[in-house]
Chain A
Amino acid sequence: DGGITQSPKYLFRKEGQNVTLSCEQNLNHDAMYWYRQDPGQGLRLIYYSQIVNDFQKGDIAEGYSVSREKKESFPLTVTSAQKNPTAFYLCASSIGQGLSTGELFFGEGSRLTVL
């Protein structure tokens, strides 16, 4: 079945450590996105990539990094510079290189907790 796979589903990290969240899609979508959700908040865009080897900062990119070496993969690294990393992270993709209709396909999310 086609879809977006995020791993791990749950992750615990000590302060000062970097951690990488995986996102893989087999939908053949060009664009991929990372969002963050905090309790009682909407989704906020961290980074997005419209094509391989290119990505753009979203609204809250500070303390995060990404890469897009393959069309199927868009990993997110939460660095030690991110001051409040505990959150629910969502990866998404869309058909084409832009959001023509706004329809995103989301993974099931990764919950990161910093101890």
Chain B
Amino acid sequence: DQQVKQNSPSLSVQEGRISILNCDYTNSMFDYFLWYKKYPAEGPTFLISISSIKDKNEDGRFTVFLNKSAKHLSLHIVPSQPGDSAVYFCAVLNYGGSQGNLIFGKGTKLSVKP
């Protein structure tokens, strides 16, 4: 049973417009939420995170929103650029769980068209 769900396998957006990537989770006890970005044949790189005590975190063109009541996380990229084309993984961390386990969603492939 998936604890972290990214229901859209892919998303296509025009350059300059907003990209919105979504993630749903099942456990209200998760403590930290992260987004990773991955290019083909490379390892993922950390993008942005948010603690469960906050509802928004912004870093340049990237903003993460957390809706705890809906158990929903979203990543907004504005304006989108062709270099943003990659697979984006949502991940959650539970301090009460295994020290080693960051739980990942299946990813959403974002394509930003010029």
Residues of A that sit less than 8 Å from B by CB:
4, 6, 31, 33, 40-45, 48, 50, 56, 58-59, 90, 92, 97-99, 101-109, 111
By a CB distance below 8 angstroms, the chain B residues around A6 are 43
B46 and A43 contacting across the interface, CB-CB below 8 Å = no
* Shortest Cβ distance from residue B23 to the other chain A in the assembled complex, whole angstroms: 11
The answer to whether B9 and A102 have CB atoms under 8 Å apart is no
Interface size on B, residues (CB 8 A): 26
User: Within 8 Å CB of B36, what residues of A?
Assistant: 104
| Contact, CB under 8 Å: A48 / B34 | no
Per-position 1/0 for B27-60, Cβ under 8 A of A = 0000010101000011111100100000000000
Cβ distance B2 to chain A, nearest Cβ, rounded Å: 9
**Top 9 closest pairs, chain A to chain B, by CB:** A106-B43, A48-B100, A42-B104, A102-B93, A43-B104, A98-B99, A42-B106, A102-B32, A102-B34
Residues of A with C-beta under 8 A to B4: 42
Contact call B41/A108, Cβ cutoff below 8 A:
yes
For the complex, what is the distance from the CA of A42 to the CA of B91, rounded to whole Å? 9
Residues of B within 8 A of A50 (CB): 99-100
